[in-house]
Chain A
């Protein structure tokens, strides 16, 4: 644009010079022929005629016939809009907010839901999970035996890969860094066709036991620790105290098994030592070209059915065949993208719907603005038409104005959206996956431009100038508007639409607010005030067995309990409401051998110290775990009330005391010594799950660790290297956290201590996604409500202007100000009623979409709808009161005398 303009200016200068030279040469020639300078100049000037006109005609040759009128319209439009800055600003801002919101959410939807995964031919990538319909309803991971069976016996996949998310300590003792890592099979990178930025990935040999100490770094870790040096391959890093050789670097686009993984280690599953029934590994597959997922599902299911051929023994004294018959494992094949995106989809589609609503409301508002403008410009249009402007050129002028405003709004809107995206990706909002590379893309910008220009065009031409020859005369003559009635009707309809949209959004955000309130009111079963959590991980290399680990944790507990400001110290393998740590597992119940396996799955949580006291989880029967000697494995356990009720059918918990449960057929039995209250450990939305609490040294028979993957896994299960400290105390948590950190470092300099988090924050972050959605919806609702109120005010104020004569007459004839005011309020009420009825219908129609997000409240909750209606009524009545008040104060003389 600027380029074209500067080109135009240069050509203008050139032309002036060219003609000037011509002029001078003509004079010189005449002088050469003997004329005096003055006569020559005069003669040439006469001959030349109007020089400006010569230039103008010449310039006309440059322009194309089609663009010239457009430029003229554009210039007119710019001038007109500059002359009414209020109107232009209102239109641009309203539209920009509407379209900016849509662009933000559309960018999110595109980045998170629609964009293909950043791997070649990613449509062929699927995740392969397992459900055990006869045991539990949720989806779980595969066992190593299942993975080997599928890998060997399938006929529809190019490759399969297994992964296990884990955490490691990286770096020197004293300052280890705790990182999220993953152990992956050699096929994992092959499935994704992920090409390392530097070096290579694991070979088949490296992926078989014993796994060599090699590591593939993630790009961010590589940049952070090695400054992005390309010769990093061959360097050694300390992982969990063991030197590992770097063999490659993965680009940052590699974000599996989850998007915060920073390094990959070989998984090295051992086909000779497998567990059939332990759900541990995430499995992904790249299907052969053109294999539909349901075909792959049948094929994998078939392969799984033949697992017993490879691994006849399921452990726990069961044959694989028997386990298959009681657990009934089913293969679930779904696009990898769905697995990566998770359940955020519902939220995003709801938000996209919201953004569309806001945009519609904004459009209605802009439409109203244009209608008003059309009214006030009737006289101008009439004059222009009388002066010879064709109807077509008048409409073209209006359209140019609309398109210009639309373009401006698009620019501002895209700017708003970019700012929103920037804020959003910075905040890591509400655990939305794939936010890293989110931005306002070209397709979204294109959409915004097309949308806003269409809206601008539509709104500007919607009220076409109604110019008839007679109309011109009457308008110009009287200087008054003609027949505003049907336009006022259009405006009213637009405002009704706005009110309806505002109602729907208010109701939606109200429903979400009630969901959040409901979840906050849910009693999680534990208490949060003054509780600080502090995850700790002990380095694997320094401790030879469960006994050592238990001893160290006990020492840490004692040291921390002595800190000032700390009253109670406990430890737990898995904090309530947070992911990670031990979870679901199989428990054997005495006198009820594996005959009834379906009932023996439970949450397994390892605890130490006064965990229950710190979180104020009540003891309902029996006693706490007794203090045992470090050197003797503990033979005690606690169970939750839910577990006691399920296993022994007793809702007081007393029947559970003295019963025995076991983790494995060859492990010693544990005696239930107490029953504690149920807590919502998975999420606030889910009911408490039956839980078994084990003391940290309950599995002493497993030590020393033999280093086999199976033993490693069991050790991880029973003597977790990573525990979360739970400190209950008084006062400011920060100094306590620092003191605790120092105390732990003093005991083991290599222990990794992570960021502390108050328990209250754990609780609120589990509500983050719903709160986030609710907040966005609330903002949208507020905005729409504001637009609706402005709309109603506009209609009422305008009808006051139209009816000022009538009102003046009424006042003159003795009607009181209250009655005339009421007349206008009544108009607002009619609009509002119509809007609210259509809003209610709209809400009930779309309520189902919101259903998935709601907890403890139904989409047609009468209280929420009632509150929304009340808020809307209040706002709208208030907005119509101002013009109504003015109506009562009209001076009849001034309005009537003008005629």
Chain B
């Protein structure tokens, strides 16, 4: 496997979905920025690669909206890392975004599925 294979077949993230992915990632537990990137990449089986240029603005924006909170800690390998965690408001936001996403993907699936006969 070539060294760049890991990053092949990437999908551009849909506008607005990054917030959902970050919130969902943090729902599993506190994580730092790099950890979030890895988590999203691994769990999407390398399909989703979060760009740092989008990740940090998103993190800071979410922090300002008080959906996530951050604090400085020292990681396992003795590095100062900024650890993000989901707040109560963030959990509510995650639920809302999830249901919105589900409605959206259902709707898209409906559109993409072969048309059904309508009842007369």
Residues of A at under 8 Å CB distance from B? 14-15, 17-19, 21-22, 24-26, 28-29, 35, 43, 47-50, 53-55, 57-58, 60-62
Contact = CB atoms under 8 A, between A and B. Distances in A.
A15 B80 CA distance: 12
Nearest to B82: A18
Nearest to B61: A61
Given A49-B51, A49-B53, A21 B32 contact: yes
Contacts of A26: 34
Contacts of A22: 32-34, 37, 52
A21 B80 contact: yes
6 contacts: A21-B33, A25-B79, A29-B38, A57-B53, A57-B56, A60-B57
B52 A24 contact: no
Interface string B17-39: 00000000000000011100110
Contact of A61 (B7, B32, B33, B60): B60
A58 B60 contact: yes
Contacts of A17: 80, 82
B8 interface: no
Q: 4 closest Cβ contacts across the A-B interface?
A: A61-B60, A58-B56, A25-B34, A61-B61
B64 interface: yes
A207 to B, nearest CB: 69
B116 interface: no
Nearest to B4: A43
B74 to A, nearest CB: 11
A54 B53 contact: yes
Interface of B: 3, 7, 32-34, 37-38, 51-53, 56-57, 59-61, 64, 72, 77, 79-82
A54 B52 contact: yes
A62 B64 contact: yes
Given A21-B81, A35-B3, A58 B32 contact: no
Nearest to A25: B34
A14 B71 CA distance: 11
Contacts of A54: 52-53, 56-57
A783 B29 CA distance: 72
Given A43-B3, A54-B53, A57-B56, 19 more contacts: A15-B60, A17-B80, A17-B82, A18-B56, A19-B52, A19-B56, A21-B79, A21-B81, A22-B32, A22-B34, A26-B34, A35-B3, A48-B53, A49-B53, A58-B56, A61-B60, A61-B64, A62-B60, A62-B64
A672 to B, nearest CB: 97
A49 B56 CA distance: 13
Contacts of A47: 7, 52
A43 B4 CA distance: 9
Contacts of A19: 33, 52, 56
Contacts of B56: 15, 18-19, 54-55, 57-58
A60 B32 CA distance: 20
Nearest to B49: A47
A14 B82 contact: yes
A50 B81 CA distance: 21
Contacts of B7: 47
A60 B53 CA distance: 12
A21 B60 CA distance: 16
B32 A57 contact: no
Nearest to A24: B79
A18 B80 CA distance: 8
A62 B70 CA distance: 14
A61 B57 contact: yes
A14 B81 CA distance: 10
A19 B57 CA distance: 11
Contacts of A57: 53, 56-57
Nearest to A59: B60
